């Protein structure tokens, strides 16, 4: 396990969401403050604001990829293609490991937007047993993708 993935898991254990935990460990590498990364990523947790769509660990990693490879104001249009290619590579690797990038599917279909669903997720300890692994894997895949 990499130092960054260990840091991300610690953040996740300390009540930061999955997106915050992943994105913020790349702050120094990407020229942002950790605090800015934590704030930017906040609404992306829980599959984007408890909607359980794209996994927050995935969106956190995609934000890091976007900062490194995305197209800014004074960059050629090809940068967008490069960023999309990196994102597709990351997503393919994540799906290869976990079968999907959908938060609800990654949590065995449990619905965290309802009190009953959240209670069931907590009862099954899915945040610890599942989400911590997704955070770790997203960081490790992102590290590989950022290096390619």
Q: What is the mean pLDDT of the chain?
A: 96
Whether the pLDDT of residue 148 is over 60: the answer is no
Cβ(9)–Cβ(135) below 8 Å? yes
pLDDT score recorded for residue 147: 79
Arithmetic mean of pLDDT, 50-79: 96
Each residue of 96-139: pLDDT tens digit? 999 999 999 999 999 999 999 999 999 999 999 999 999 999 99
Residue of 1, 60, 2 lying closest to 32 (CA atoms):
60
As a whole number of angstroms, the distance between CA 59 and CA 51 comes to: 13
Domain ranges of the chain: 3-147
Arithmetic mean of pLDDT, 7-31: 97
pLDDT score recorded for residue 97: 98
Cβ(107)–Cβ(130) below 8 Å? yes
């Amino acid at each position: 396990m990499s130092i960054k993935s260990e840091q991300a898991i610690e953040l996740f254990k300390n009540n930061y969401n999955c997106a915050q935990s992943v994105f913020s460990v790349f702050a120094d590498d990407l020229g942002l403050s950790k605090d800015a990364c934590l704030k930017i990523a906040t609404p992306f947790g829980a599959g984007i604001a408890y909607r359980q769509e794209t996994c927050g660990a995935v969106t956190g990693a995609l934000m890091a990829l976007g900062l490194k490879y995305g197209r800014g104001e004074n960059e050629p249009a090809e940068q967008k293609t490069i960023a999309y290619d990196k994102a597709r590579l990351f997503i393919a690797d994540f799906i290869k490991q976990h079968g999907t990038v959908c938060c609800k599917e990654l949590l065995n279909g449990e619905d965290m937007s309802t009190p009953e669903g959240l209670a069931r997720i907590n009862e099954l300890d899915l945040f610890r047993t599942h989400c911590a692994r997704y955070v770790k894997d997203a960081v490790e895949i992102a590290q590989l993708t950022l290096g390619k």
